[in-house]
Amino acid sequence: MSHHTHLHDHTHEQQPHDHSHPAGLRGWFANLFNPHSHDHSNLAADRAFAENELGIRTVWIALAILLFTSVLQLAIVALSGSVALLADTAHNIGDGLNSIPLLIAFYLARRLPTRRFTFGYGRSEDIAGIFIVLSILVSAGIIFWESFQRLLNPAPLENIGWVAAAAIIGFVGNELVAWLQIRVGNRIGSAALIADGLHARTDGLTSLAVLIAAGGAWLNVPLLDPIIGLGIGVVILLITWDTTKRIWVRLMDGVEPELVGVVETAVMQNPQVQEIKQLRLRWLGHQLQGDLRLQLKPGADSDAVKADIRHALSHDLPKLQDLVIETSL
């Protein structure tokens, strides 16, 4: 005898809340730093919708910060007339536009499943991560190329003060975006958003290399520029490797082993469960899905067991949007 259950009813209508939240940008920051809690009876789909909206807002704010940073850098380019600085600024603008595939993925994830895409469009978020990883690799390649060129053909750095100012602006802007995206990415469980944050961090490191180069030129040590550039290139390669592994695990339907442990603990705490026959979890974008097959003890109340597991996991694993449970006696 077997039974099936889902962690929640499949409805996409938002339920009214009995409390209000600040609106606009103030509301976004309030939600980011002081997330409000919901009773476990609220639909997991509502939580998924809210987290997807948070991801969209985060990417838009990141793009706004990068746009503002680029405008300041372009102003410095206009004042200094530095062609090299113009090229670096154009590179930063191009890297900022790489957030667009992630933004498209978040918008796609809001669409309902279809007869062709029965699981929905959450996987597009992980696919966007591939483009981000490739973009980080391109950044590393550019840094290595430029560093080797300057090592073989040292050239004096002009407009040192302006270059240093632009580098500081680039570093601060990119690091702010990195901090924001990595923080929100960890909160909502988005590997692609974390990857985009790490990409912004690599751009910040690039600006830091420019700042160190300006310092080297001011100290009349031109070789400091390519040497530091090569070192930062190695750091970016390490970031690329970590990001690639993260995205690869998601694309291969892998999960963190501790998440499996959370489910196992919640299940085996129920005295009516005899054995876990099957436990599968996977990330779909920034939401977890999975299925359980349980062997219950003779005389166990299947409905009560499933209700107990649902209750426990709604608290212990809130990212679990959809869990199918099959029981047998």
Res. 184: pLDDT tops 60: yes
Domain ranges of the chain: 39-251, 256-328
Spelled out in words, what is the top-level CATH class assigned to the domain 39-251?
mainly alpha
CA distances from 209 to 128, 137, 144, 165, 200 (A): 28, 17, 12, 13, 14
Count of residues in the chain: 329
What confidence category does residue 30 fall into, taking pLDDT thresholds of 50, 70 and 90?
A: very low
User: Angle at CA 207, nearest 5°, toward 201 and 212?
Assistant: 125
What confidence category does residue 40 fall into, taking pLDDT thresholds of 50, 70 and 90?
A: very low
Identify the CA nearest to 326 among candidates 298, 299, 296, 283: 296
Neighbours of 177 (CB within 10 A): 28
192-244 residue pLDDT tens = 889 889 888 888 887 877 777 777 777 777 677 677 778 878 888 888 898 89
Task: Work out whether strand 320-328 and strand 2-6 pair parallel, antiparallel, or are unpaired.
Answer: antiparallel
CA distances from 98 to 28, 178, 199, 248, 278 (A): 23, 14, 9, 19, 40
Identify the CA nearest to 65 among candidates 181, 167, 143: 181
128-140 residue pLDDT tens = 889 888 888 887 8
Mean pLDDT calculated for residue range 114-132: 87
17-26 residue pLDDT tens = 444 444 454 5
What is the share, in percent, of the chain residues with pLDDT greater than 70?
79
Residue 187 neighbours by CB under 8 Å, 6+ apart: 35, 51, 54
Q: Which residue has the higher pLDDT, 229 or 174?
A: 174
Q: Which residue has the higher pLDDT, 239 or 8?
A: 239
Averaged pLDDT of the chain: 78
pLDDT on residue 176 = 93
62-84 residue pLDDT tens = 988 988 888 888 888 777 665 55
User: Angle at CA 31, nearest 5°, toward 26 and 32?
Assistant: 100
Spelled out in words, what is the top-level CATH class assigned to the domain 256-328?
alpha beta
Instruction: Look at residue 100 and give its three-state secondary structure.
Output: helix
Query: pTM to 2 decimals?
Result: 0.71
Instruction: Look at residue 298 and give its three-state secondary structure.
Output: coil
DSSP state for residue 121 in the 8-state scheme: S
DSSP state for residue 128 in the 8-state scheme: H
Residue 201 neighbours by CB under 8 Å, 6+ apart: 174, 175, 178, 182, 239
What confidence category does residue 41 fall into, taking pLDDT thresholds of 50, 70 and 90?
A: very low
pLDDT on residue 157 = 63
What confidence category does residue 156 fall into, taking pLDDT thresholds of 50, 70 and 90?
A: low
292-310 residue pLDDT tens = 999 898 888 888 888 888 8
Res. 271: pLDDT tops 60: yes
Residue 24 neighbours by CB under 8 Å, 6+ apart: none
Element (H, E) at 193: helix 191-218
